[in-house]
């Protein structure tokens, strides 16, 4: 049977650590092989095939196939370089605007937030997945969209076809970090390059004024903080004065508690002015009580802070739909809230408000669902984290949306009062995408595009900070 390394190991029910030790490599190296980040030498593949009791030629074919078909994991793809496609910009450039280059752009939620500020214009984006890139291109009309593995993209091409970026933004996947080698040793097309090094390579060659690197909060503690130190060390070695904070989007007016680690650097030594939160809600940061977690000053008792936007305030103008149903017009009996007016962006056309058709058994679970899995009668579901099969609280901002928010087994994503999971439109609302943002792809691709994005609002906050610090 033709299987890749991971699939073959799983068939044999072998643990990563056992296979790694049997062939004399670290678990970390095996993880890289299994993700397609590194091409294994034939000798190593031979050893692996012996341990997995399979024919080496079959394993080579299986691993090649796997690398041809990028898989997303946590929103990231780590595959071998393959072909490239470019979607050219649809509109001319405005030379008066500050150019933004978006690396690992996905649908470009973060950089869309830059463009919501008229001082900025996104001029190019790079991503491996075609569906993400099509959505990116549909909504970033002045940007060239490069569908390519970042490890294969030429900075000469970026430089020749686009204006020099004033800002480079990007969130390189942090899976696969070990230690980051000094950027000077980074050679193009070196398969060992991790994706942060790629970000550094492009920054080094294009020399933007500002860099904005966003990532998961877990990066703070990854490898006991060594990863973060190493990333910041690389940016400083490139000549950027750097600072970082954990931002929670709910503190800036998004109806979702979603944290992101943001690192900002300036080439001329300017210090970045972090924007103070404008909204307040209860939240215990995943990063704990550390000074770099930006929190609303004064909390509940502050006169200046507004209460955070709630789920109800974000979706109450959408008509009720049952499982498997959809609707194409807004409610005419509900006055839109300020957030809903903003997010509709003057459209009258409701799209993507299509609920998943749940099975009868799932509907039974959903009817009994409460704030956590323990609300369900004993034995109704066999396993899950406490936030699975749970209802959102309409009176608060939502929890962090995942890439599976249309399935009730995922992190708290059942509608506050209706018996179904969120629709793609509701997810897009909670992420802060305008109703006019044009998503393309299959329904399941679109759900992933929404769940993986960085909320535009956070990009907007950083863009404003750059203008005020420049």
Ligand X SMILES: C[S@@+](CC[C@H](N)C(=O)[O-])C[C@H]1O[C@@H](n2cnc3c(N)ncnc32)[C@H](O)[C@@H]1O
> So which residues are the catalytic ones?
174
**Binding flag, residue 447, ligand X (CB under 6 A):** no
Q: Which of 454, 462, 463, 466 binds ligand X (CB under 6 A)?
A: 454
147 near ligand X, rule: CB under 6 A? no
How far apart are CB 151 and ligand X at their closest, in Å? 6
Helices first, then strands: H and E counts in the chain? 16, 14
450 binds ligand X (CB under 6 A): no
Smallest distance, Å, CB 436 to ligand X? 17
Structure tokens at 432: 């802060």
425 lies in the binding site for ligand X (CB under 6 A)? no
Q: What is the spatial distance between Cα 268 and Cα 271, in angstroms, rounded to a whole number? A: 9
The Cα 227–Cα 224 span in angstroms is: 8
CA–CA dist 48, 41 (Å, integer): 11
**CB neighbour list of residue 54: distance below 8 Å, 6 or more residues apart:** 1, 3, 8
Minimum distance between the CB of residue 402 and ligand X, rounded to whole angstroms? Answer: 12
Instruction: Give yes or no for residue 109 binding ligand X (CB under 6 A).
Output: yes
Interface size with ligand X, residues (CB under 6 A): 25
The reply to whether 149 sits near ligand X by the rule CB under 6 A is yes
How many beta carbons lie within 10 A of that of residue 391, not counting itself?
A: 20
- The 10 Å Cβ neighbour count of residue 448 is 23
- Nearest distance from C-beta of residue 432 to ligand X, angstroms: 11
Rounded Cα gap, residues 331 and 323, in angstroms: 18
- Per CB under 6 A, 132 contacts ligand X: yes
The residues in 163-182 that bind ligand X, with binding defined as CB under 6 A, are 171, 173
The answer to whether residues 147 and 128 touch, using CB atoms and an 8 Å cutoff, is yes
Examine residue 249 and tell whether it contacts ligand X (CB under 6 A).
Answer: no
Helix (H) or strand (E) holding 470: none
Residues 18-77 that bind ligand X (CB under 6 A): 75-77
> Least distance to ligand X from the beta carbon of 453, Å?
3
Secondary structure E strands in 330-411: 353-354
How do beta strands 85-87 and 144-147 pair? antiparallel
CB-wise, 75 or 208, nearer to ligand X? Answer: 75
Quick one: which segment of 123-131, 280-288, 352-360, 404-412 binds ligand X (CB under 6 A)?
A: 123-131
Can you say how many angstroms the Cα of residue 366 is from the centroid of all Cα atoms in its chain?
28
Q: Which stretch binds ligand X (CB under 6 A): 143-151, 202-210, 279-287, 406-414?
A: 143-151
Site string for ligand X, 190-219 (x = CB under 6 A): -----x------------------------
Contact between 114 and ligand X by CB under 6 A: the answer reads: no
- Give me 83's structure tokens: 């072909």
As measured in angstroms, the least distance from the Cβ of 55 to ligand X is 30
What is residue 346's DSSP assignment? Answer: T
Q: Which two tokens stand for residue 219?
A: 């990066």
Interface residue list for ligand X (CB under 6 A): 75-78, 104-110, 126-129, 132, 149-151, 171, 173, 195, 452-454
């Amino acid at each position: 049977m033709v299987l890749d390394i991971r699939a073959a190991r799983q068939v044999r029910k072998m643990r990563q650590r056992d296979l790694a030790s049997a062939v004399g490599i670290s678990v970390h190296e095996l993880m890289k092989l299994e993700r397609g980040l590194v091409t294994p030498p034939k000798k190593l593949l031979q050893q692996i095939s012996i341990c997995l009791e399979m024919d080496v030629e079959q394993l080579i074919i299986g691993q090649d196939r796997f690398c041809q078909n990028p898989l997303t994991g946590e929103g990231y793809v780590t595959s071998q370089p393959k072909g490239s496609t470019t979607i050219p910009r649809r509109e001319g450039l405005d030379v008066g605007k500050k150019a933004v280059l978006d690396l690992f752009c996905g649908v470009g939620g973060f950089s869309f937030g830059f463009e919501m500020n008229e001082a900025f214009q996104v001029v190019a984006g790079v991503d491996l997945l075609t569906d993400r890139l099509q959505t990116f291109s549909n909504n970033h009309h002045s940007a060239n969209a490069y569908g390519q593995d970042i490890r294969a993209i030429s900075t000469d091409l970026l430089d020749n076809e686009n204006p020099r970026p004033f800002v480079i933004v990007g969130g390189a996947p942090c899976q696969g970090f070990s230690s980051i080698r000094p950027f000077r040793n980074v050679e193009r097309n070196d398969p060992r390059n991790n994706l942060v090094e790629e970000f550094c390579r492009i920054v080094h060659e294009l020399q933007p004024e500002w860099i904005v690197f966003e990532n998961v909060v877990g990066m703070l503690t990854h490898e006991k903080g060594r990863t973060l130190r190493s990333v910041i060390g690389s940016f400083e070695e490139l000549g950027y004065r750097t600072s970082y904070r954990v931002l929670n989007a709910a503190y800036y007016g998004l109806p979702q508690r979603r944290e992101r680690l943001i690192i900002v650097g300036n080439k001329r030594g300017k210090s970045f002015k972090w924007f103070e939160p404008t909204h307040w809600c209860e939240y215990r940061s995943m990063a704990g009580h550390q000074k770099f977690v930006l929190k609303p000053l004064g909390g509940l008792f502050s006169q200046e802070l507004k209460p955070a936007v709630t789920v109800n305030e974000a979706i109450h103008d959408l008509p009720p739909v049952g499982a498997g149903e959809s609707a194409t017009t807004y409610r005419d009996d509900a006055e839109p809230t300020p957030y809903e007016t903003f997010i509709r962006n003057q459209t009258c056309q409701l799209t993507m408000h299509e609920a998943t058709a749940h099975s009868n058994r799932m509907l039974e679970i959903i009817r009994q669902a409460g704030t956590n899995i323990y609300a369900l009668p004993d034995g109704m579901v066999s396993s899950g984290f406490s936030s699975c099969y749970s209802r959102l609280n309409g009176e608060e901002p939502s929890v962090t949306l995942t890439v599976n928010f249309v399935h009730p087994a995922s992190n708290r994503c059942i509608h506050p009062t209706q018996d179904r999971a969120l629709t793609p439109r509701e997810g897009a609302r909670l992420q802060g995408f305008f109703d006019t943002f044009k998503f393309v792809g299959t329904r399941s691709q679109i759900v992933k595009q929404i769940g993986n994005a960085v909320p535009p609002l956070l990009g907007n906050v950083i863009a404003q900070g750059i203008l005020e610090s420049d």
